[in-house]
């Protein structure tokens, strides 16, 4: 059910009825759930990464779109979310997400030589960027958001109750030093009412017990905002395309564009007109499909040469 209920919010032509193949990967004592749409005939593959409060079911409408555009798709449930089994939820930190995705990229590219595109939504965008930088094995990075936690303005943008960036980061570090294992509801940390321009979709995201309706440790938040990603001026691992929802009121375009403009690798900015943070609206959703098709042709054409 979770793999179809989010798709119901997309325009009808994008509601692909696609059932995932589900598997589990034993990683550091966790049982990581992976949803996959295997397409041996596809020229490229896409590894799709959700953000905080997301999971594979939430990402599945975009997976279906990528499959329709001729790609095989892999979507993991990152620890704390979806069906991934974690023995110690309170101990999960953002750095574990980075390690997991890097190992998954290494694992997938070792087993299959087809070009691998990393697609990240929300803070999954920076996760895709970092995995590309560390592994050097991504053909392309596509992100809906590039919210740099090293930018003091990021906390002001992303927090549920915004405070000045440096002050907020210091408060989080202090809280994590004494209460890092304390679980807090996602809705206390992020304004999930801004998830979508459709209030019903925002409510679904906020109430989903596998996603935004769950809790995360204070230490995870502190680790994210203390994490220092690869400097964009040193990033040359892969082309980066920012597919920025133009009407995103949660992480406004200027935050991501500011980071994109500093990336040394080839970059492209594609605005998704009329789309909120969770892009479902026309004409932006059609632009996203067109962009995925263009990115698909890039790595596929390079691999064939």
At 28, which CATH number? 3.40.50.1820
Residue 167 belongs to a domain: no
Total domains present in the chain: 1
Kindly state the average pLDDT of the residues 134-143.
98
Band of the pLDDT at 167, cuts 50, 70, 90? very low
Residue 214 belongs to a domain: no
Band of the pLDDT at 222, cuts 50, 70, 90? confident
Tell me if 256 sits within 8 A of 146, measured CB to CB: yes
State yes or no: pLDDT of 194 exceeds 80.
yes
pTM of the predicted structure, to 2 decimals = 0.93
In this structure, what token pair is assigned to residue 237?
Answer: 């691992």
Tell me if 226 sits within 8 A of 152, measured CB to CB: no
Q: How far apart are CA 275 and CA 288, in angstroms?
A: 10
Residue 98 belongs to a domain: yes
**Neighbour tally for 187: CB within 10 Å:** 18
State yes or no: pLDDT of 73 exceeds 60.
yes
Residue 221 belongs to a domain: no
Residue 187 belongs to a domain: no
Residue 166 belongs to a domain: no
Tell me if 195 sits within 8 A of 205, measured CB to CB: yes
Structural domain containing residue 42: 2-154+229-300
Residue 62 belongs to a domain: yes
State yes or no: pLDDT of 15 exceeds 80.
no
Secondary structure (3-state) at 93: coil
């Amino acid at each position: 059910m979770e793999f179809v209920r989010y798709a119901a919010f997309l325009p009808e032509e994008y509601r692909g009825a696609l059932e995932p193949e589900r598997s589990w990967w034993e990683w550091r004592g966790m049982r990581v759930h992976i949803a996959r749409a295997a397409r041996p005939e596809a020229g490229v593959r896409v590894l799709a990464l959700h953000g905080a409060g997301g999971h594979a079911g939430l990402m599945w409408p975009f997976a279906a779109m990528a499959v329709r555009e001729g790609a095989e798709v892999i979507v993991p449930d990152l620890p704390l979310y979806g069906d991934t089994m974690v023995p110690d939820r309170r101990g999960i930190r953002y750095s574990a997400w980075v390690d997991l995705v890097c190992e998954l990229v290494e694992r997938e590219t070792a087993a299959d030589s087809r070009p691998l595109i990393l697609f990240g939504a929300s803070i999954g965008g920076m996760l895709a960027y970092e995995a590309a930088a560390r592994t050097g094995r991504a053909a392309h990075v596509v992100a809906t958001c590039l919210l740099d936690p090293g930018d003091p303005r990021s906390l002001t943008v992303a927090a549920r109750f915004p405070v000045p960036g440096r002050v907020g980061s210091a408060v989080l570090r202090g809280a994590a030093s004494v209460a890092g294992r304390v679980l807090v509801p996602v809705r206390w940390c992020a304004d999930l009412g801004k998830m979508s321009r459709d209030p019903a979709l925002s409510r679904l995201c906020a109430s989903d017990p596998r996603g935004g309706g769950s809790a995360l440790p204070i230490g995870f938040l502190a680790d994210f905002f203390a994490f220092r990603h690869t400097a964009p001026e040193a990033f040359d691992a892969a082309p980066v395309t920012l597919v920025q929802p133009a009407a995103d009121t949660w992480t406004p375009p200027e935050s991501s564009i500011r980071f994109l403009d500093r990336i040394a690798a080839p970059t492209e900015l594609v605005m998704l007109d009329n789309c909120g943070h969770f892009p479902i609206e026309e004409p932006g959703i059609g632009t996203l499909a067109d962009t995925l098709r263009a990115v698909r042709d890039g790595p596929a054409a390079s691999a064939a040469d």
